[in-house]
Amino acid sequence: MKKQSVTGWIKTSDKKPKDRQNIAFVVTSDYDISKHLNGRILGGRYDAISHYFTVPGDSYEASHWRPMFEFCEDEHDDRL
């Protein structure tokens, strides 16, 4: 197993997320229309078919990613 950095960010060249996994990712773009987003962190999903990181209505390439927190139901938690 590869060692992750202290921050938990994973290089996209090392490993891709699972298809449709909820993630945070760091945008990398060579397109003029989205260059202003370079280095920004967005939340979205990974699309294994297109190999893009997606947000509603758009998709991007990314340099790094990390899983979003997964919420689980607790049968003993009355707040749910």
Task: State the pLDDT at residue 53.
Answer: 96
Task: State the pLDDT at residue 66.
Answer: 96
Q: pLDDT digit string (tens) for 1-46?
A: 455 454 789 999 999 999 999 999 999 988 777 888 999 999 999 9
How far apart CA 38 and CA 31 sit, in angstroms, is 10
Task: Quote the pTM value.
Answer: 0.75
CB 42 within 8 A of CB 24: yes
Task: State the pLDDT at residue 71.
Answer: 61
The residues facing 27 across adjacent strands are 62
Task: Decide: residue 29, CB within 10 A, 0-12 exposed, 13-18 middle, 19+ buried.
Answer: middle
* Mean pLDDT along residues 60-80: 73
CA-wise closest residue to 19 among 54, 43, 61: 54
